[in-house]
Structure 1
């Protein structure tokens, strides 16, 4: 039997990168998956790639009405929710000296507020014994120049997970974070002004990883699958690094 047979999952930021790879993994393992994202055209492409057992719900994780609509849709169509993967996030590198209020608020609204309310709004629907996986980052525990705001948001969601593990223990809901290291996704391209610049970013990150390369989205998805499945039934409150050893040595 597949690891997630009969389960219903929601994955925010599911139209590309880690979110899309996770949705593909979950469907392959028997789950029905709802993916979210802000751009309908990207969601449509993701649905075509996933192929079956998937519904896309356009929305913004910083909008509480959008989150209400997401969970109302799942309730109406499936009547259950077993797994939440809070994956939506942005990276906009800026030094502390250059970060303005707009940058600060945008980063915290999406990466911290968005995660908080994605989980809060799911609580009335998610099954007892369910699983919540929050995508954090190894930067939550390391200092990288230019990533002050991003790193702080990832530390915030790691803190959320510790608290939620205790708050939800009576319901048997397991809450964990997965923390990727450098992963080769479209987000890398968004951090550079040109293809050459993006290639330089990739080359630099590869030199920082003991395994000598960047990770792939499917490798993070494999970790998320483990945390979502009964294979991790005695694991709660942890941070699972998937980083090629970058933050470990």
Structure 2
């Protein structure tokens, strides 16, 4: 990755996002990364401790915060080569238990946040640059009690397809990373307790043909490929799911 690249990673203070930030820094990039949780933001600042890592608390569901992020990126980096749109929030439960507040929170962060972050940062992305959106294996499958979360990632998948076509004249690529079960602090669902996380761990190992969860670094490697190496690919979905959505074990 030469000369020095500049990147933005939303949802970059833990899990897959943090793994992508570390991969970027290891390649010499300068990165603005965001997180909504102040504890995670401070932990990332402490852990990264690099003058090339600029950590900003930002709520993806807030248009004011998104605009502030755009101004911060412009002031700090000027222009960028890569944007990883990695915000998300998910809760599970049967349709009878879904409240308007839960629905609005999931769609506000995952769908509204992804769309308007892209809109705000687009003018700062260099020709030849790229966006990568995070969805999930849910975007191509149907799991009971995940209706709102599934709807949100499927919407983002649709954005990516349409924006890939829209950004071609600008020389900007748009692709999707669709992870399966991944060993992150939240296991993909922020409201889970330790017992529920253990159940997700067991379920992931049983359902995934490769019989394990991905390490965040494995997903990060796929993201980096889409970001910089897949120069003749746009509008694609790269499934990093251990075969879960692709093959029968």
Equivalent residue runs for 1:73-222 within 5 Å: 73-188=72-187, 190-193=190-193, 195-222=194-221
**Aligned with 1:238 (options 229, 236, 246):** 236
How many pairs align?
A: 245
Do residues 6 (structure 1) and 1 (structure 2) align? no
SS in 1 for 2:95: coil
Q: 1:191–1:205: structure 2 CA closer, same or farther, 3 Å change rule?
A: farther
How far 1:191 sits from its partner (Å)? 4.2
Deviations 1:31-88, CA, capped at 9 Å, x for gaps: 1011111123311211222232100111111111111111211211221111110101
SS in 2 for 1:13: coil
Gaps of 5+ in 2: none
Q: Is the 8 A contact 1:40 1:58 kept in 2?
A: yes
SS of the residue 1:165 aligns to: helix
Secondary structure of the corresponding residue to residue 124 of structure 1: helix
How much is the aligned-residue C-alpha RMSD, in angstroms? 1.3
Deviates more, 1:8-17 or 1:44-53: 44-53
Once residues 43 and 5 of structure 1 are traced to their aligned partners in structure 2, the CA distance between those partners, rounded to angstroms, is 28
Q: 1:51 to 1:4 in 2, by over 3 A?
A: farther
Counterpart Cα distance in 2 of 1:205 and 1:117? 32
**CA distances 1:2-21 after superposition (whole Å, capped 9, x unpaired):** x2641111111111101111
Where structure 1 has 5 or more consecutive residues not aligned to the other structure, the ranges are none
* Structure-1-length-normalised TM-score: 0.95
The worse-fitting range, judged by mean Cα deviation, of 146-155 and 63-72 is 63-72
User: How far off its partner does 1:124 sit?
Assistant: 1.4
* Distance in 1 of aligned mates of 2:105 and 2:231: 35
Structure 1's 190 and 64: CA in aligned 2 closer, same or farther, altered over 3 A?
Answer: closer
- Taking the aligned partners of 1:240 and 1:22, their CA distance within structure 2 comes to 15
State whether residues 27 and 33 of structure 1, in contact with CA within 8 Å, keep that contact through their aligned partners in structure 2: yes
Q: Tell me the secondary structure at the aligned position of residue 157 of structure 1.
A: helix
Of the structure 1 ranges 110-119 and 68-77, higher mean CA displacement relative to structure 2 is found in 68-77
